[in-house]
Structure 1
Amino acid sequence: RYGKYPLALLLVEAFYWFLTEPSDTLAPLQVVEAWLWHGITEMVWGADAVSLSQHNGWTTRIDFHHPSFPGTFDTVGLYVSDECAGVHEMIFLSTLILITDDVPQRDRLRAVAVGCALVFILNLARLVAFYPIALGGCLEAPNDPTCLNDMWAFHRQVYEWGFLVVLIGLWLAWFTWVGGPRRVKDRSMAGSDRWRITPRKAWAWSEHRPAWKQPVMGVALAAILFLTATAMVRNDPVALEARATAEMCAFSELVSQRCADAQNTWNDAIDGAWSVATLGLLSLAVSGLMFERPLPDGRWPSMVDEEERRAIQEAAREEE
């Protein structure tokens, strides 16, 4: 029962890693956060304090401005990356909530919505805090590169363990609010829930389902996608030639348009392979889950064997 918590977190970590391996996978959200970050900073510290520009083709770069900042242009450049978007934290918290036992499905979905909103706000507050921290350090030591150490230390502490403590605290607070360990019920009964998504227990081929609905088909599709992703970087002659050229340019420290084109081609192949692999992981995850509604007697279909389930359904039809 309790082993599902680390297993679920490992699976979503793997999914997030596959999802964000190509850069700027979450670009629309990154742009929104950069725009809000810029707007709040500008509103609090003035239009001269911050500017918004592009990074890798997306409007996610933030530049802080103040005469005390180090460098020729008195600026500090930052940008909203995949990891800075807060999606990692949202997925982590949502997973903890969704796999919590003995809580109605509707309450869990509401908690996910509220939790994700709180994470978004906290993450935005973290970004907004960078400017005053950087400014405070550089006012004490103007034009000294080390004056930004406090800002980087804050970023590192939040990234490494700060958010983890906050997320676990949010989950514990919610778990206590909904009743905590005192919530005990018969897990075979649906209670007030009208539906749920639960891990699949039966993987055998069933003659009562069409072929495309068989769970093993999702696993087969995932395997095909994983093999396709591998072939995209190991068997594609264009990608392999681009890789060889890029490695030769890097080894010889050459800078040319040909080298840049080769590197871009190889990067595109890698990004495409990661995207296909992510779809494979998603197919595998979907195959491992099942959507179910309560039986007429209030029990979940996955909690009874197939013969008993069919008997209950037939008895209900006869009563109708």
Structure 2
Amino acid sequence: FDVGKILTCGGAPFYDNGLATNNAYIIDINGGIGGVTVTRTGSMNNNRTLHNSVVLPTGEILTVGGQAESRIFSDRESVFEAEIWSPLTGEWTRLAEMSVPRNYHSVLVLMKDGRVWTAGSGLCGVCTTNHPDYQILTPPYLLNDDGTESQRPVIVSAPETIELVDDPSIEIQEIRVKMDKDRPHTFSLVRLGAVTHSVNNDARRVPLQVLTQGLTTTLAVPSDRNILVPGTYFLFAMNRAGVPSIAESVSVQGLDQGPYESPTAAPVPTVSPTLARENWCWDECEVEQGDTWMCRFEYGCEGCEAVGEVCD
């Protein structure tokens, strides 16, 4: 949510049938090897596991979905209430409830307009807990107290590409952004999300220092690729009230990336026609000890079933 600072929240001690926690911690890696610190911050209002979180352009963290007890491919113990964490206060604020459970295999990503898109949950063949739909949440920063839409700042123009210099002695680079009004603004780059299994591996927000303010604003961009990892980002401008603009897409490129080459596609295994699609789900099976466990029957290599068979 900030340079070298990571928020972790919730979770359970067991992948399935584990009671969730509402604990939250800030991991600060700015001290380098041997200097990492972990600090307790405010607890969530709900115990959650198998949930999703996303960093907003303001540095706040929005968390949705999950369960009070981890139950794979189930809607039981679902948490419908969203909540948002403030880096300024360290506290969580309750938000609106969703109407659909978002648990295992759900996703949450930040949209270009500052809203948040959540979808999925389930993905277990013909199970009844599949949710192939989505909902969009509007964070409080986009609404006035009476529920009307807040007035946004407008980015008139911004660079489409930031080419990071290949010189370790240069710590910052300058870019120029043109705004619609000569008013104070703050800015941040938020990397586009890539979410799976409750982890957004590309989550990254980099606040930008304002060097000169005006209709044309000069911003300092870090040249360190450990901070500003090459990739595609949303560039947001926020006014004094914290209302974000609609973002501009910016491609951050490093000189050592080289041309992109499409990887060679892996061969697709032949699936036996005798394996019906309805077997691709969780089912109960008896183990030798007589205890009931949850087994997954799915396609393995060369069309054999992955459970109970060995594939070379």
Give the TM-score category using the shorter length: under 0.3
- Structure in which a larger fraction of residues adopt helix: 1
Per the normalisation by structure 2, the TM-score is 0.23
Q: TM-score with structure 1 length normalisation? A: 0.22
Higher relative contact order (CA 8 A, sep 6+): 1
Compare CA radii of gyration and give the structure with the larger one: 1
